[in-house]
Amino acid sequence: MKLHAALGISAGDVVAFAGAGGKSGAILHVAGELAEAGMTVLTVPTTKMSLGEAQRVGSLVTSEDADELRAKVEAAFSEGNARVAAGSAMISKGRVGGVAPGIVSDLAPLADVLLVEADGSRQRPLKGTAGHEPALPEASTLVVAVGNVDALGSTVDEEHVHRPALFSELTGVGAGQSITARAFARALVQGSLANVPAAARAAALITGVEPGRTMSDASVISRELWRFGTKRVVLTSIPKNPPARVWIP
């Protein structure tokens, strides 16, 4: 099964990915699938993105001027690139600066699908979402909350959770305690999916899943997500070694 199909992504979508534990890998994989299907794909961060990731996504263009950025994106597609990444500027530590969420609606018509990296997680499997996160464009048609199954049963600390204090405040699971399936689901639904635009769809993507114990763990998390009202749940082996596998529980 293709990941973009499982998530329900099709031409015309503006898809914002938020959360932790495989978000970048999911974006890269979806971009590749869509390009193989003959679609053009534009990827933008609304916060920031690593330079390496942006370059893997596609031809990279940057500008702090919205009109100039649009022109550069159009030029990149006209040169035959199926995948383009766009940011505001190069910033410190090898990162590409994000574009303002409001600019996304102007960029969306330039590609068949626009993918948005809407927050960061410092490569942790789960995160506590701050009040200003994720930076979701109003133009979003689908918001995907991401979390890695490896976080289940781990302790709430800096190693396993980005912003553990915020995670504890949201879920009620304190520092040093084990992350339950309900807490995992709550972090996604009431964190990453808390401010989904009214017209947008919502989905949850559980990463790091393989047949066996992690599949069983992901099934338990899926049931909690359903109880919170998130009906579209997808499981994937990303970011583990390829080939990526995808399941719908």
**Sheet strands side by side (includes 48-50):** 48-50, 95-97, 90-91
**Residue 166 confidence (pLDDT):** 97
Three-class DSSP category at 213: helix
Over range 3-19, report the average pLDDT.
Answer: 98
- Domains of the chain, by residue range, sit at 3-247
Mean of pLDDT over the chain: 96
Q: What distances in angstroms separate CA 104 from CA 25, 145, 185, one per listed residue?
A: 21, 19, 28
In tens, the pLDDT along 150-184 reads: 999 999 999 999 999 999 999 999 999 999 999 99
**Residue 241 confidence (pLDDT):** 82
Checking if the pLDDT of 206 tops 90, the result is yes
Angle at 151 between CA 187 and CA 204, to 5 degrees: 45
In tens, the pLDDT along 136-153 reads: 999 999 999 999 999 999
In tens, the pLDDT along 106-136 reads: 999 999 999 999 998 998 999 999 999 999 9
**Residue 242 confidence (pLDDT):** 86
Checking if the pLDDT of 92 tops 90, the result is no
> 83, 84, 16: which is closest to 47 by C-alpha?
16
Three-class DSSP category at 140: coil
DSSP tag of 101: G
**For the whole model, what pTM was predicted?**
0.97
CATH 3.40.50.300 fits 3-247, yes or no: yes
Per-residue confidence at 93, pLDDT binned at 50, 70, 90?
Answer: confident
For residue 46, give every residue at least 6 positions away whose Cβ sits within 8 Å of its Cβ, in sequence order, or none.
Answer: 16, 98, 99, 100, 101, 104, 116, 117, 118, 134, 135, 136, 137
Over range 27-51, report the average pLDDT.
Answer: 96
**Residue 222 confidence (pLDDT):** 98
